[in-house]
Amino acid sequence: MSEAAPTRPYPLPVTARAPLLDGLVPAQEAFSVILFECLAHASANIPAVVEAKSSEGLHQFRVGLRRLRTALSTFGKALPDLMALSDRAKAVTLAVGPARDLDVFLAELLEPAIAQLGPQTGFEVLKLRAERARERAWVQVFMALTHPEMQSFQDDVAAAASAKLWAGEGRLKLGAVAPALLSHHLKRAKRRGQTLTTAPERHRLRIALKKLRYTSEFFTPLYKDKAVARFTLPLKELQDLLGHLNDTAQLRAIVGRLMLEEAGEAGVQADLSHAAGLLLGWHQASAEAEAAKMHKRWKAFQKADVFWS
């Protein structure tokens, strides 16, 4: 009797790596290295998404695209060809976003509430609808990542990374250019954080902090580890808190779509409304507790010493 062939393990998610750079490399060359690294991060997660339907793989794929867009805007905002690539990356991010949103909804928003509140009327129906919506969203993910446009996009990013597109300051050493690029993102984040009373304001700050964090990670090899850590720790803590608040802010829209996606009997819709009210109320209480910490973390971030001065 022949032995069964061993099953091939599913591809695993891949996290980002800091580019291998130093302050003496020309900024133009550094831009190419960073673009290649961001492309590699996103591309390496496609097998984990397509073959294993890995939620973490999808998350890392989206992070890779966001890091890529940050690099493109940081180095090439005045270059139409690079901004066109950024727009294409954004389109892919939007196409796969609903699947990731529903993954987060089920695992991080709905399940904890069920565990805390117990089996309540309407929770099972809400969960079933979310699971069906997630399955449909994952079909969109598969179609987007296996479409020929995805390979064309990857090829075009690689071509842009290989080309000498960035002139002017690109001829300077990276060590001379990096501080101004980092200061630009920091100034933008601090301007966005002047008012944080509404969800859109907090969301704009969150986006600015992501760009600052990704740019900091690009240039980490140029600076001392301890100095970088003293700055990035309060940055990450504030970013995590804002991410949680953003998830809660998106909850109402997700629940609303789930209630409207399928026609149900009056009794079912009433149960769903009951479940939605419990879920929103539970998370609202949590969000208010988190929001109370926001200003303290914002002040800690403002006081953090920059590592590039």
pLDDT at 167: 59
pLDDT at 218: 95
pLDDT at 168: 58
DSSP code of residue 26? B
pLDDT tens, the chain, 309 aa long: 455 555 667 899 999 998 989 999 998 899 999 999 999 999 999 999 999 999 999 999 999 999 999 999 988 776 888 899 999 999 999 999 999 999 999 999 999 999 988 777 789 989 999 999 999 999 999 999 999 999 999 999 999 999 877 655 667 899 999 999 999 999 999 999 988 888 899 999 999 999 999 999 999 999 999 999 999 999 999 999 999 888 888 898 999 888 887 666 777 888 888 888 999 998 888 888 888 888 899 999 999 999 998
pLDDT at 178: 94
Q: Which residues contact 117 (CB under 8 A, 6 or more apart)?
A: 123, 278, 282
> Tokens at residue 147, please?
């479409």
Mapped to the 3 state alphabet, what secondary structure does 68-114 carry? HHHHHHHHHCCCHHHHHHHHHHHHHHHHHHHHHHHHHHHHHHHHHHH
Pick the CATH number of 27-303 from 1.40.20.10, 3.20.20.210, 2.40.30.10, 3.40.50.1970: 1.40.20.10
Could you count the other beta carbons within 10 Å of the beta carbon of residue 229?
12
Q: Show me where the domains of the chain are located.
A: 27-303
Q: Would you say 62 and 107 are in contact if contact means Cβ atoms under 8 Å apart?
A: no
pLDDT at 1: 46
